Copies of this chain bind each other. A is one copy, B any other.
Amino acid sequence: MAQSQVTRLNPRKSPRQARAEVTVDAIFEATIQVLVSEGPQRLTTTRVAQRAGVSVGTMYQYFANKQSLFYAVNKRYLDVLAEKVESACEAHHGERIEQMIEALVTTYWLAKTGKPEVTHALYRSVADLDNQPLMDAFSARVDAASAAMFATASDTQFDNLEGVNLTLLTVIFGTVRSAFERNMPYADGQFIYQQLVVLCKAYVNVMRRQAA
């Protein structure tokens, strides 16, 4: 089933003449433009076709359905991202581990923040479309609760409690989500969970004020 879906998402036919190739590119560019400027909800087939300067019928010759427009954008985006990470990794073979870490984080960070509108458009979750205020309220509550807890730690004081708190929450929430998206087997999930604890502990041990 998954296989047949994927097949349907792939282009229906490959352009054989020059004008067809132009058409496919125009549709692709139009999809990104509409996605970024109007948002995923207002991305309609008619709008994309109009922006691309072709009829809806033409669009459906190359994209089997609306979803495959998303698919195409996502695919190119991920391909570019994967290439960036791959070449960054190759460029740092043989270096010290801390340099590798820095290169990896920096590459990914810059790739995502480079075109923030596109990243945002692709990240927007179905349920989160108009829910930023909800997320803000949630973050505020949790930030307050955990900062208050960390302030009472019996063995530790931080020079920058707010910063450590924000980092920990962003890392924990993000990692859990990321683990979900990878659709990991149960055992891998358990492993990540344990490593997440190790990792956060290692971080606070670096960040806590050292006894004088």
Contact = CB atoms under 8 A, between A and B. Distances in A.
Interface of A: 2, 5-6, 9, 40, 67, 70-71, 73-75, 78, 81-82, 85-86, 89-90, 92-98, 100-102, 104-106, 108-109, 112-113, 116, 119-139, 141-142, 145-146, 148-150, 152-156, 163-164, 166-168, 170-183, 188-189, 191-193, 195-208
Task: Indicate how many identical chains form the complex.
Answer: 2
4 smallest beta-carbon distances between A and B, as pairs: A174-B178, A174-B174, A202-B202, A89-B149
A135 to B, nearest CB: 7
A189 B126 contact: no
Given A97-B153, A104-B200, A171-B174, 6 more contacts: A71-B130, A78-B137, A95-B154, A97-B156, A101-B168, A199-B200
Given A85-B145, A146-B85, A197-B101, A134 B78 contact: yes
